[in-house]
Chains A and B, each alone.
Chain A
Amino acid sequence: MKRYHWMLLVLLGVWVMAQDSSLPGLKETGNYTQGSLGQVLQPLPVTNAQPDGVYSVGAWPLYTPELADGPGKELVMGYCQVCHSTTYITMQPPLPAATWDAEVQKMIKTYGAQIPDDAAKQITAYLQAHYTPETRKQ
């Protein structure tokens, strides 16, 4: 028997005992479930740094959520990650279709994104198909 099987038996035993004793007001106890929110690991301190003038922190970690699946997703991943991650897209609240059109135009005209007209149209259609108040799911 694996070790956690024993632990389960112990837990069940504790539970049975809890049911038998008198614990006034106890409405629920000993309820566990698999943590769905994940865990966050601790970073290692910079203990091996040299005492020189160089101050380094290592690579910046990426935490980029998956974009919604659908036609145009590859174009977005190709053209819209040159200057920033697509987290800039998923972070937005659902925006009206016209606003997404304006955002894509802003990236091209104001920020100098180099995107052929046809690709820009498909990207706008993709964003409108997944990130408006009517269409946004995730």
Chain B
Amino acid sequence: MDNPMHRRNFLQRAAGVLAAAGMLPWVKAQTSSQTAEALPSFTGPGPNPYWNGVNPFVVYPQKLPLLRLTDRGIQLETPRQYFRTAFTPNEAFFVRYHLDLIPNSIDLSSWRLNVEGNVEKPLTLSMQDLLTRFKPVSVAAVNQCSGNSRSRFQPRVAGGQWGNGAMGNAIWTGVRLMDLLQEAGVKPGTVQLQFQGLDRGPGPEGKGSNAFIKSLDWNDPVLQECIVAYRMNGEPLPMLNGFPVRLVVPGKFSTYWMKHLTWIRALTKPDDNFWMATAYRIPDTPRGNTTPADIAAGKVKTVPIGNVNMPVRSFIVDPDGSSKLVAGLPVEIRGVAFSGYGRVTKVEVSLDGGKTWRVAQLGDYHGPYSFRTWSFQWKPTQPGRYTLAVRATDEKGNVQPDEPVWNPGGYLWNRIERQDVVVGTAS
């Protein structure tokens, strides 16, 4: 069995093996397989075509390898594969800080949650107080960064270049915000509640680079559903997700979910700090959509992103395009869906890039603010290239649109998601 074909192959192989062992460094590395080739180090000026951002895997305390956007302050994206289940593991849950003085160590013997400002009786509560003096409640809720999927924007905008992984779902357990406020007795004249945690930045006092502070309107109905959470999926919060407690604001973007929550203040004047007055603002238009030209012309009125809930979204997790499918072999197309406006009532799948739609099967219902898994059995019979697509509908009748959105902050992306797959022949 010594034909020339084989011999050439043999020589190539031998060279390859030797080169792999570092013995023949001048032999060009041969085949590029999937694992030997890295994604590019950046995408643009076109949209990022990948599900996640293109950033490398890195390890952080209490975390599995996640995708590093920035290392100081810390921003980490959750890889796609962790969205196969309705609840995102704590160790894979995304991380988004704005400032770089992030607690490495917290002493619960001196840490206190302070409820202050325009209240009858300011409170200073220890973790022990939170655990014993108030009734624990739980909610399943999606925590999604306002800028999730920002790397899809055209033209691209500055900011965290997230793919789809700046989101996660957890069961949050803790104390009802309203129970704390009732004990403190919020006085008339209160217009907003302000939240601040232990993280800080080195910038000058009074600037956004010094402290990250957010406020919610006192008349916002979401306050009735807010939780000061000390448990996440049944465990203490990882430090990078806000240990010892964080605010949970079901249906709203993460920017209000204050980590390391330590101060709750009843305000008599609207909060005009940078993170309310300048950052995290969206055009006061349908979907928060506008154009670079209208922004440049100064025509666009903006409102805080807390004025809206998270728009309905759905994601294809499998198949992910990393391998070919086989004609005649059934495959489960699956993923998650959610809406800040309530229960996901329908998920539809398209096998032709969005021309025709079929209803997918919904997974268990974990409450209006949770991820809902969905699945669709598909048996591709013809080899070829297919573009899968998914769209969700919520109980208010909101359907995911196929038009992109644009605003200068890179917020509110919820366009229909697509996944290209290749089906090979079985014969």
> Would B65 and A40 count as touching, CB distance under 8 A?
yes
Contact of A32 with B207 in the complex, beta carbons under 8 Å: no
Query: Does A48 have its Cβ within 8 Å of any Cβ on chain B?
Result: no
Q: Interface on chain B toward A: helix, strand, loop, or mixed SS? A: loop
A59 contacts partner chain B, Cβ-Cβ < 8 Å: yes
Inter-subunit contact B17/A11 (CB<8 Å): yes
Give the residues from 12 to 28 in chain A that come closer than 8 angstroms, CB to CB, to chain B.
Answer: 12, 15-16, 19-20, 28
Q: Is B21 within 8 A of A12, CB to CB?
A: no
Q: Does A105 contact B (CB under 8 A)?
A: no
Decide: B16 and A31 in contact? CB cutoff 8 A.
Answer: yes
Give the docked Cα–Cα distance between A99 and B108 (Å).
44
Task: Return A22 CB to nearest CB of chain B, in Å.
Answer: 10
A64 touches B72 (CB 8 A): yes
Within A41-67, which residues are at the interface with B (CB < 8 Å)?
A: 41-43, 52-65
Whether B104 contacts A83 by the Cβ 8 Å rule is no
User: Within 8 Å of chain A (Cβ to Cβ): is B135?
Assistant: no
A11 partner residues in chain B, CB cutoff 8 A: 17
Q: At the interface with chain A, which of B113-121, B196-204, B386-394, B416-424?
A: B196-204
B42 near A63 (CB under 8 angstroms)? no
CA distance A34 to B57 in the complex (A): 19
In the complex, whether A93 has a CB less than 8 A from a CB of chain B is yes
A residues less than 8 Å from B71 (CB atoms)? 60-64, 85, 87
On whether the beta carbons of A83 and B70 are closer than 8 Å, the reply is no
* 8 Å CB contact of A94 from B42, B65, B105: B42
Residue of B with least CB distance to A103: B158
Q: How far, in whole Å, are A85 and B160 apart by their CA atoms in the complex?
A: 13
Query: Which residues from B are CB-within-8-Å of A4?
Result: 21
The 8 Å CB contact of B70, one of A12, A15, A91, is: A91
CB-defined contacts of A30 to chain B, threshold 8 Å: 13
Q: Is the CB of A19 within 8 A of B16?
A: no
Residue of A nearest to B35 (CB): A37
Counting CB contacts under 8 A, is A82 at the interface?
Answer: yes
Q: Are A33 and B207 in contact (CB under 8 A)?
A: no
Tell yes or no: B426 within 8 A of A by CB: no
B400 within 8 A of A: no
B339 at the interface (CB under 8 A from A): no
Q: How many residues does chain B have at the interface if contact means C-beta atoms less than 8 Å apart?
A: 71
Chain A stretch 71-108: residues in CB contact (< 8 A) with chain B? 82-85, 87-88, 90-95, 99, 103
Q: Which of B41, B158, B239 contacts A55 (CB 8 A)?
A: B239
Question: Which residue on A lies nearest to B111, using beta carbons?
Answer: A53
Contacts of B208 in A (CB 8 A): 110-111
Interface presence of B231 (CB below 8 A): no
Taken residue by residue from 347 to 362, chain B's Cβ proximity to chain A (1 for < 8 Å, 0 otherwise) reads as 0000000000000000
Please tell me if the beta carbons of B20 and A34 are within 8 angstroms of each other in the complex: yes
Is A116 located at the chain interface by the 8 A CB criterion? no
Per-residue A-contact encoding for B265-309, CB less than 8 Å = 1, 0 else: 000000000100010000000000000000000000000000000
Interface status of A70 (Cβ within 8 A of chain B)? no
Once bound together, how far apart are the Cα atoms of A88 and B159, in whole Å? Answer: 8
Indicate if B60 sits at the interface (CB-CB under 8 A): yes
The interface residues of chain A lying within 8 Å CB-to-CB of B22 are 34
Asked if residues B106 and A43 are in contact (CB atoms below 8 Å), the reply is: no
**Measured CA separation A61–B58 after assembly (Å):** 9
Contact B59 A40, beta carbon cutoff 8 Å: yes
With A85-B71, A133-B45 in contact, is A55–B108 under 8 Å at CB?
A: yes
CB pair B17 A12 closer than 8 Å = yes
B29 cross-chain contacts in A, Cβ below 8 A: 33-34, 36
- Please give me the residue from chain B that is nearest to A9 by CB atom: B17
Contacts of B18 in A (CB 8 A): 8
Contacts of A95 in B (CB 8 A): 156, 158
Q: Is the CB of A99 within 8 A of B104?
A: no
Shortest distance between the CB of B324 and any CB in chain A (Å): 13
B38–A37 contact, CB under 8 A? yes
Which of B1, B70, B209 is the one whose CB lies under 8 Å from A112? Answer: B209
Please tell me which one of the listed residues A35, A56, A63, A94 contacts residue B45 in the complex, with CB atoms under 8 A apart.
A94
Residues of chain B within 8 A (CB-CB) of A15 are 10, 13, 17
- Say whether B404 faces chain A, with CB atoms less than 8 Å apart: no
Per-residue CB proximity of B21-60 to A under 8 Å, as 1/0? 1100000011101011110011111001000000111111
B243 to chain A, nearest CB (A): 6
Query: Which residues in window 56-74 of B have CB below 8 A to A?
Result: 56-62, 65, 68-74
Kindly list 7 other residue pairs between chains A and B, CB separation below 8 angstroms, not including A33-B36, A37-B35, A82-B202.
A31-B30, A35-B36, A36-B37, A62-B72, A87-B71, A93-B43, A94-B45
Give chain A's interface residues, CB within 8 Å of chain B: 4, 8, 11-12, 15-16, 19-20, 28, 30-37, 40-43, 52-65, 82-85, 87-88, 90-95, 99, 103, 110-113, 133, 136, 138
Q: List 10 A-B contacts (CB under 8 A).
A: A31-B16, A32-B16, A33-B36, A34-B29, A53-B109, A83-B209, A87-B70, A91-B42, A92-B158, A95-B156
